Amino acid sequence: MKPLLVLFSVLMFLSGCASQPDDSHRCGVVSGYLNPDLSQDLYRAIVTHLDGKPVISKPNYRLSPGEYTFTFAELISAPSLKVKLAARVPKDLVISVEANRRYHFAAKFNTDKRYRGNDSGFWQPVIWLEEEHECELPVK
């Protein structure tokens, strides 16, 4: 009976040591380093703000899962675009970041009509590619 009690005690101790994976370090990535497909009227964009706070644009934003509002400026260089500089305004896109996902952003040039003057409707920010990507936030 005593060996059984010892075995039971050891098993109880070891089960107390087992822990669940630490979800606090899980993350997803929002990226702008890939060149988007120009044949789909997709152009580069840069991030100017994240959740209303100014940021220095970088290729990847590693974030905890959740919703984030990104503000983008387009870098559309299409010769058919004839809008004034004042029409080239930044635009927001809310991205729901999930763990172990990568979201590639771009500026979608709307080619449904000719845009001229102060018409800022010529583009919108989009996620053009979403893929699996292992991600873990650094331990602080």
For 82-111, what is each residue's pLDDT tens digit? 899 999 999 999 999 999 999 999 999 999
Give the Cα separation of 91 and 72 in Å (integer): 5
| Amino acid sitting at position 124 | Q
How many CA atoms does the CB half-sphere of 12 hold within 13 Å? 6
pLDDT of residue 1: 55
Rounded to two decimals, the pTM is 0.80
Asked if residue 69 belongs to a domain, the reply is: yes
* Residue partners of 33: CB distance under 8 A and separation at least 6: 59, 60
Asked if residue 103 belongs to a domain, the reply is: yes
Q: Which residue segment(s) compose the domain that 71 sits in?
A: 23-132
What percent helix, strand, coil does the chain show, rounded to 5?
A: 20, 40, 40
Asked if residue 38 belongs to a domain, the reply is: yes
Asked if residue 8 belongs to a domain, the reply is: no
Calculate the CA 42 to chain-centre distance. 17
Question: For residue 23, is pLDDT > 90?
Answer: no
Asked if residue 140 belongs to a domain, the reply is: no
SS3 81: coil
Give the Cα separation of 123 and 126 in Å (integer): 9
Asked if residue 7 belongs to a domain, the reply is: no
pLDDT band at 112 (very low <50, low <70, confident <90, very high): confident
